[in-house]
């Protein structure tokens, strides 16, 4: 059975009270979700505790949107891996394009965070993808291969099997634009091929590769039907429980 992971990235939205309401709506909406679909919601740090209480005992898993790679120290404003673990977090988004663009995230810091995530029992959702300029230059494949190879530096095959990779065409995030099904699947296929080159075909086959470029209720079924796409990292649509439900039930 193919495993699908549908993760909602709430970004900088929802107070703890608002997040609790949305989490409850989502838990109810996906209560009878397909067995092959794992549902993850990633609220802001301030709402993690409130959401953890709501989803306790449900099939919905908790994710965080970022973390630091050090265990502790003078890193004002940062959050350590074990802090997330104590809150019940299972997944953590690493290297989101917005983190790369606005907060100086690099391929090297992504790798450090991936290593730290595995060391603390967290499952990383590793984001890779190209800007419109990079796509127009024809370097999408080379860029994505490089991002994947650097992200997995020092990661064992057993760890890699459990990792999640989200392909984010940066030009399609928050713009309403979406890569065609074929474009999305092509790059996800390149990602899977690269994982196979680093490890082997078995690891590549088990790695969950999400599409993260404005997947929504209208296009989810077709995108999720593509051979190399087995999940979605959902932005805006994850803030609407009915839209998110439609995506989950599209697997």
Max CA-CA distance within the chain? 48
The answer to whether the beta carbons of residues 93 and 64 sit under 8 Å apart is: yes
pLDDT greater than 90 at residue 172? no
| Tens-place pLDDT, residues 157-171 | 999 999 999 999 988
Return the pLDDT at 223. Answer: 95
Q: What's 60's DSSP letter?
A: E
Domains parsed from the chain with CATH numbers = 4-240 (3.20.20.70)
What tokens were used for 49?
Answer: 């505790």
Residue 77: both structure tokens together = 């404003």
The DSSP-derived string for 19-46 is HHHHHHHHHHHTTT--TTEEEEEE--GG
Question: Tens digits of per-residue pLDDT, 24-47?
Answer: 999 999 999 999 999 999 999 999
Question: Mean pLDDT in the chain?
Answer: 95
Does residue 126 register a pLDDT over 80? yes
pLDDT of residue 61 exceeding 90, the answer is yes
- Does pLDDT of 176 surpass 80? no
Mean pLDDT across the stretch 108-125? 98
Mean local confidence (pLDDT), 9-18: 98
State the pLDDT confidence band at 177, using cuts at 50, 70 and 90. confident
Distance of CA 33 to the CA centre of its chain: 19
Tokens describing residue 243? 């839209």
Supply the residues annotated as catalytic. Answer: 96, 168
Q: Which two tokens stand for residue 216?
A: 């929504």
Contact present, 40 and 234 (Cβ < 8 Å)? no
Average confidence (pLDDT) over 58-62:
97
Cα separation of 39 and 9, whole Å? 11
* β-sheet bridge partners, residue 211: 167, 232
């Amino acid at each position: 059975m193919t495993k699908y992971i549908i993760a909602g990235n709430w970004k900088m939205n929802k107070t703890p009270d608002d997040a609790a309401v949305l989490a409850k709506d989502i838990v109810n909406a996906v209560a009878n979700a397909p067995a092959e679909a794992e549902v993850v919601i990633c609220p802001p740090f301030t709402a993690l505790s409130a959401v953890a209480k709501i989803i306790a005992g449900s099939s919905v898993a908790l994710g965080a949107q970022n973390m630091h790679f050090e265990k502790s120290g003078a890193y004002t404003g940062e959050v350590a891996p074990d802090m997330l673990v104590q809150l019940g977090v299972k997944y953590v988004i690493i290297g989101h394009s917005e983190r790369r663009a606005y907060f100086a995230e690099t391929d090297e810091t992504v790798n450090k965070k991936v290593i730290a995530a595995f060391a603390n029992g967290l499952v990383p959702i590793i984001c890779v993808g190209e800007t419109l300029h990079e796509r127009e230059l024809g370097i999408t494949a080379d860029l994505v291969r490089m991002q994947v190879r650097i992200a997995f530096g020092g990661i064992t095959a057993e760890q890699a099997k459990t990792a999640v990779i989200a392909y984010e065409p940066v030009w399609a995030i928050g713009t309403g634009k979406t890569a065609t099904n074929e474009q999305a699947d092509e790059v996800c296929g390149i990602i899977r091929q690269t994982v196979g080159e680093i490890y082997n075909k078995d690891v590549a086959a088990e790695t969950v590769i999400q599409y993260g470029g404005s997947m929504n209720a209208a296009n989810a079924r077709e995108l999720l039907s593509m051979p190399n796409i087995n999940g979605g990292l959902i932005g805006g649509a994850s803030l609407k429980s009915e839209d998110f439900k439609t995506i989950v039930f599209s697997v």
